[in-house]
Amino acid sequence: MTNKKPIIGVLGGVGPEATAEFYKRLILKMQEGRIVKQNTDYPQIIINSIPGEELFRENVDLEPYFDGLKELEDIGADFIVIVCNTAHYFFNRFQERVDTPLLDLREEVKGYLNRKKIKSVTVLGSHITINSNLFNLEIPQNNPNKQEINFLDSIIESYLARGEKKNIARFNKLVEKYSRKSDVILSACTELSLLLRETNISFVDTMDILIDSTIKFWKGK
């Protein structure tokens, strides 16, 4: 009798494109890494895509997130991955609501940048992600100013709500500006990462780190 692999729970839906992108790239990474050789090698993955509020709003209602996590726990997930970067600002409050361990993207990103010996970084994401120093980075950060952060929020909100890609030319100029200021552009928002993939700018995508960490947790390493 073979040992049963852990069931992966995924809390998604903010936004749906991010959740779909995570699932697609997780499977592709397993295929490319020869982790799966036949259909029975794939992990069992339970995706709970919730219609929660955008988390960078004031006085956001977290109850849909609490409920979504509890539903994954009740179904039997062995650990839970939260796709949204901004959601990890509330990580401790989320973990208090469930016994099932949550994968902590904050620690995974910090560990990645330390291992790569990155000397300076520009973080692109929501105002919460940037202003809170979400990943507790101890290296110099050359981050967007207040006006630019508000602009990034507007891009994210348009993409989340309606799938609209707005002000691409202005976004590209902002990215080019900061690509000259830091060793690394850290994209801490899937919606922004999808836009960045349409440019020639090199960047580190936190979703790639999340995927690698998910596989590591699933394999029990």
Q: Please tell me the distance from the alpha carbon of residue 220 to that of residue 126, in angstroms, as a whole number.
A: 32
Residue 2: pLDDT over 80 = no
pTM score: 0.92
Name the residue ranges covered by the structural domains of the chain. 8-105+208-219, 107-205
Q: What are the helix and strand counts (H, E) for the chain?
A: 9, 6
State the chain's maximal CA–CA distance in angstroms.
59
- Give the separation between CA 50 and CA 168, rounded to whole angstroms: 28
Residue type, position 153, single letter: D
Same fold for the pair 8-105+208-219 and 107-205 = yes
Model confidence over 26-84: pLDDT tens digits? 999 999 999 998 999 999 999 999 998 888 778 899 999 999 999 999 999 999 999 99
Instruction: Give per-residue pLDDT as tens, 167-190.
Output: 888 999 999 999 999 999 999 998
Q: What fold does the segment set 107-205 form as a domain?
A: Rossmann fold (3.40.50)
The answer regarding whether domain 8-105+208-219 maps to CATH 3.40.50.1860 reads: yes
pLDDT tens by residue, 123-167? 999 999 999 999 999 999 999 999 999 999 998 888 765 666 778
